[in-house]
Amino acid sequence: MTTFNLRVNGKPHTVDTDADTPLLYVLRNDLQMNGAKFGCGLGQCGACTVMLDDAAVMSCLVPVSVVGERAVRTVEGLGTADAPGVLQRAFIEEQAAQCGYCIAGMIMRATELLEQSAAPTDDQIREHMMPNLCRCGTHMRILRAVRRAADTMHAGPGSSTSSTSSAGAKA
């Protein structure tokens, strides 16, 4: 057992665990942050995606010992049920979730994109979201939700978009 000091969603946490424990397990089991999900445990589905500083990572592949000083951000830090963040609201408005298992990871992957690019093209959205899989097959609604969030952010604070521009399909 080793003691690790983590900063998650802006708050400090101390955990005692083995150095090779995946960050995903620490978030879920030690910190009770259950937004990030265990899907494959192999870096192949993206259900566990969180942000480490400015990069989206698959937290099932990140040993807690390599996190160090980097800021961890999870879907819990983006908003609440009463006050969802822009991406969370867009996913609700586009009804992007079916079972919802992939959604926290999708939102964190999209967070990375929208922090890198204020006005991504539909092709850029599609390519960026590719590592994250949805078993329910709501990909087109997910792409529309990211488009909606990008349009809202691009329009500036206080705007509300009724954009129906799609990422390329009508599903």
Binding residues for ligand FES, rule: CB under 6 A, are 38-41, 43-48, 58, 60, 97-102, 134-136, 138
Taking the C-alpha atoms of residue 76 and residue 150, their distance in angstroms, rounded to an integer, is 20
**Contacts with 115 (C-beta within 8 Å, 6 or more apart), sequence order:** 54
Taking the C-alpha atoms of residue 165 and residue 76, their distance in angstroms, rounded to an integer, is 28
- Per DSSP, 55 falls in state E
Closest CB 171 distance from ligand FES, rounded Å = 13
Closest CB 111 distance from ligand FES, rounded Å = 16
Cα distances (angstroms) measured from residue 137 to each of 90, 101, 146: 18, 12, 16
Which is nearer to ligand FES, 117 or 166 (by Cβ)? 166
Which is nearer to ligand FES, 9 or 98 (by Cβ)? 98
Closest CB 39 distance from ligand FES, rounded Å = 4
Phi, psi dihedral angles at 147 (to 5 degrees):
-60, -45
Closest CB 67 distance from ligand FES, rounded Å = 15
Which is nearer to ligand FES, 38 or 154 (by Cβ)? 38
Sign of CA dihedral 96, 98, 104, 105: negative
Which is nearer to ligand FES, 47 or 107 (by Cβ)? 47
